[in-house]
Structures are given as C-alpha cells and as structure tokens.
Copies of this chain bind each other. A is one copy, B any other.
Amino acid sequence: MPARIDFQTEPARYRHWKLAFAGDVAELIMDVDENAGLFEGYQLKLNSYDLGVDIELADAVQRLRFEHPEVKVVVLRSGKDRVFCAGANIRMLAGSSHTHKVNFCKFTNETRNGMEDASQGSGQKYLCAIRGTAAGGGYELALATDHILLADDGSSTVALPELPLLAVLPGTGGLTRVTDKRKVRRDFADAFCTTEEGVRGARAVKWRLVDQAVSNSKFEQAVADAARKLAAKSDRPSGAKGIALTPIERRIKADVIAYSSVKVEIERDARRATITILGPSGPPPSSVEAMAEEGAAFWPLRLARELDDAILHLRLNEPEIGVLIFKTQGEPTRVLAFDQFLDANKGHWLAREILHFWKRTLKRVDMTSRSLVALIEPGSCFAGTLAELAFACDRSFMLIGGLPGDNRPPAALVLSALNFGAYPMGNDLSRLATRFLGEPASVDRAKADIGKALAAEDCESLGLVTATLDRIDWADEVRIFLEERSSFSADGLTGMEANLRFAGPETMETKIFGRLTAWQNWIFQRPNAAGAEGALKRYGTGVKANFNPERV
C-alpha cells in the first residue's frame, strides 16, 4: 500500500483511461493497465479496477465538465476486445482492510453520482456502449449513465455476480439503481443478482437492465444515433471555451497540508484535524469573461478543489483522525460578494459548474465519516457558501464577543441566497431545510436575514448554531467536547452520524449511502465473505467457500 494515496492526476498521467474528442461527443475509454495497480499483490486483469483507476475516472469526469463545455455526450466504452469491465478487482478487495474497502466503495459511489450529476446538472449526458462482459462494478458503471447499449452478439452480457461469486453485494449502487433508477421488477432483479453468468440481449432489454440490444453490425451506428438523441437534450453551451484545471497548489508535511486557501493541521495524539479556510483576498472579477480568464485560480473554484482534495486525503490517508474542526479566516463581505457574483451569473456555464462542484464538495463533507465541528470565532468568514460548512457540521460553536487580548470585532455569520437551495444535500433538501425540518418557518426567518451580519445572539435565536459561548466558557467547553468525542467508539459515531445527518426524504443517493452501504459494510465484516474460509478469500483457489447457513 502506498504511503499516501493521491487524488490529484491529469490526462497526461492516466494509465487506465483515454479521452477522445469529436465535436460535441467525447469518448471515455476504459483500458486498464493490469500492471499499474495502486497496491502490490494483484493484477488489474479484464479491465477490473482499484481506487487508482477510479481516481483517474473521477478526474476525467471533472475535466469533461470544466475543460470541455462543448461536450454534450460522453460515450463510455472499453478499450479491450472481449470485456467491457469486470468490476472491482477481487484480489484487491480480498487483500484490503475493512477501512480501505469501505472508503474505496464510498469514493467510487461519489464518482458515479458525479456522472449522474453531470447529466442532470450540466446537461453533459453519458452513454454506455457495452461489448463483452459488463460484470459487477462494470455494470454498475453502466447503470450510472443515461442510456445503455448492449451488443447483441451472443456473448456480451451484463451481470451482478457479487452475491453468487463472492458472497458480497454489488457495492457501487447496483442494487439501488436496478430497482429505483431502472425500475427492474423485483423478482427479475432477484433473478439477475443471483445469476453469476449474467443476462444477454433481448432478455436484458425485457428486464429493463439495458435500453437497447443491438447486433454487432449495427452497433456503432446505434451508438452514434443514441449519442445524437442525447445531445439534442443537452443544454451545454455552444462555442464556449473550457478552462484548464491546472495542478492545485499544495505542500504536504507530516502534520500540515497547506493549500493556497486551505490549511489542514493534524493533531495526531488528540486524533483531530483543523481545516482552516481562507476567504478571498479581493473582490470577485468584474465579468464572467474575467472569471473565465482567471480559470482555476478563481477563488471559489480553487477553494473547492483544495477542500475536496483535503477531505479525500483525510479519509484515505488519516483514518485515525476522528474529528474535523472547520475554521474560516477572512472578510465575510468578500465571501458574500463572490456568492452574489456566482448567483447573478448562474446561467453562465462556468458559474453553473462551480456551483455544482461546491454542491458535490459539500456532499463529500456530509458523507465523511468523521465528527464535524465548526468553530465560529472573531476573524472568521462563515458567510454564504462557507456558512454551509457550519451547517454541514454535527455541532457548531460560536463565540460571544471576543477572547482576552483579541481586539477584532466579534464573530458574525452571514447568509446568502446560496444557502437556500443552491447546495442540496443527498436528501435533496438544503442544509437549512434539513436543519429546520420540524419548524419550516425558521427557514423563512433565516431567509429574511440574508446579507445581515448575524452576531452570536442572533444565530442562537435563529437556531443557526448549536451553542454560543462567552469568553469564560469557550476554551473549556470546546476542549471538553473534543475530548469527549475522541473517547467514543469510532464505529458507533459513524453509525450515529450516518443516521442523524440525513433527516427527511430519502433519494437514490441517500439509499445508496445509507441502506446499501450499511448492509455492504456489515457483509464485509461477516465470515461468509471476509473470513479465512469466506468467498472473498477463497475466490480463485478452486476451493469452495464454507458458509455458516444461519440467517440473521
């Protein structure tokens, strides 16, 4: 296992994917280098994947949105002859720690949700052209697209063989998308998910597993036709020029990661990290053209990329850091000016992309299984988009007045229009609507205060923070909270937070991260799958797994 898993890459460094462009259609070609696995101990045969493959995929999906506004349809296909994708690599899974397996599944789920978000949010549609076998995670990748074509050649199949083959579940949304997105009838779904060899041609269409099954001779024409139809539904801009997602600025030391606008400080003994976010150093650009000119340096985009990277780094590389403390530094009015700029220009493709990216980054925070706390102190800029971070936290503490020896004005929290719908959570509600599920009038009260500098007393009365504390109590109360949190069981906190963070309606996304993921995590702990005689360990050995037949 590498000392540090890095989520930053770029097409020139891809080992597993190729991008090709032709007008408004891009091809995203999976062609996994079997010798370029992220860890030792397995080969990525048959276009199977590990986290390294998925990091490149996530990068490609992101660049397609920002660097290629002209692309209306992305055709996902395989670069191999007889296989589309064999799914997550089994030996990698069998050799991984429980923590890695769970984090791997979470990231791959976020990437597939991101493909659907590109389609729904940015009109960049995905089409999946399957020749050969699309098994397990391979078919789940297809399920994340808008339209699935399957070669009707007697051998191409779609399959979810996880249960019969490995005694685990399809871990990347497969079960949920089969029933809730494609609305496969439950008995067909049951038959499908217990059929190791998968389903071909006409039956795959009848069972709604794919949209079209097309003979080899007509396949490419059908792909082109389907791409044209999807392109017609797209509202991607014509003639816009993409911006380059240049490498992020980052210095990594043992206990500090410093980005241009994000600083992560790790207190290893206390098992916590402080994420400090720096507000903008100046006003927003004068026009959308000037914003596009700034490109990846434009503060909201730069910050989102840095924050996203920091969260992923902490998830995968710092599993023992149980509490993330969010702080901000800067001028609230400046943050607000950027919010107003983005909101005023949300019809512009780049502003739209940035808003969607912030939405996804905030969801990434919601889905991070660490305790999240915001400390709102003098000098902070929890305003608009940055206030959303406080609303994503399990607790938020706000200082009343100042601390001894600190002459800065007391902290204020400021709301912007973007707090009221621009960044829905997985449950499709804004964080404030989720927060005030029991008192919807409180959302309107908060809305009436958009733009006002809300002091601690105001925030307390509006219900925007968990607690306000004066200078006498601040240090002790915060310390006690942090120490207590660190004393609890990591697993118990993970389960509790997964339940408390998502009140209200459920969506396919919350079903995937709540129901499906939780069951998969349970199964990943059970001897039938993960034990020495379990199916994951015995796969490929020629010896059958030994199952405890007891039903739980």
Contact = CB atoms under 8 A, between A and B. Distances in A.
Interface in A465-518: 466, 484-486, 488-501, 503-506, 510-511, 514-516, 518
A370 interface: yes
Contact of A394 (B102, B187, B435, B547): B187
A288 interface: no
A436 B526 CA distance: 33
A437 interface: yes
A48 to B, nearest CB: 20
A224 to B, nearest CB: 27
A306 to B, nearest CB: 22
Contact of A551 (B321, B396, B529): B321
Contacts of A184: 438
A98 interface: yes
Interface in A171-217: 175-176, 178-180, 182-191, 193-194, 208
A403 interface: no
A99 interface: yes
Interface residues of A, number: 91
Interface in A268-303: 271
Given A492-B169, A523-B495, A485 B194 contact: yes
Contacts of A495: 169, 519-520, 522-523
A194 B498 contact: no
A525 interface: yes
Nearest to A321: B551
A509 to B, nearest CB: 12
Interface in A384-415: 393-396
A162 B491 CA distance: 12
A179 B502 CA distance: 8
Given A489-B529, A506-B506, A526-B525, A190 B500 contact: yes
B208 A528 contact: no
A376 to B, nearest CB: 13
A550 B506 contact: no
Contacts of A439: 183
A163 interface: yes
Contacts of A421: none
A320 interface: yes
Contacts of A520: 495
B463 A501 contact: no
Contact of A547 (B393, B490, B525, B552): B490
A518 B522 contact: yes
A322 interface: yes
A541 interface: no
A239 interface: no
A319 interface: yes
A320 B396 CA distance: 48
A439 B163 CA distance: 27
Contact of A519 (B180, B394, B499): B499
B521 A498 contact: no
Contacts of A503: 179-180, 183, 186
A11 interface: no
A182 B438 CA distance: 7
A514 B515 CA distance: 5
A167 interface: yes
A515 B167 CA distance: 20
B491 A552 contact: yes
A354 interface: no
A75 interface: no
A272 B453 CA distance: 66
A528 B186 contact: no
A27 to B, nearest CB: 30
Given A186-B394, A499-B515, 20 more contacts: A102-B552, A163-B488, A163-B489, A167-B492, A180-B503, A182-B438, A183-B437, A183-B503, A185-B435, A186-B434, A186-B435, A190-B395, A320-B550, A490-B528, A492-B529, A494-B552, A495-B519, A514-B515, A518-B522, A522-B522
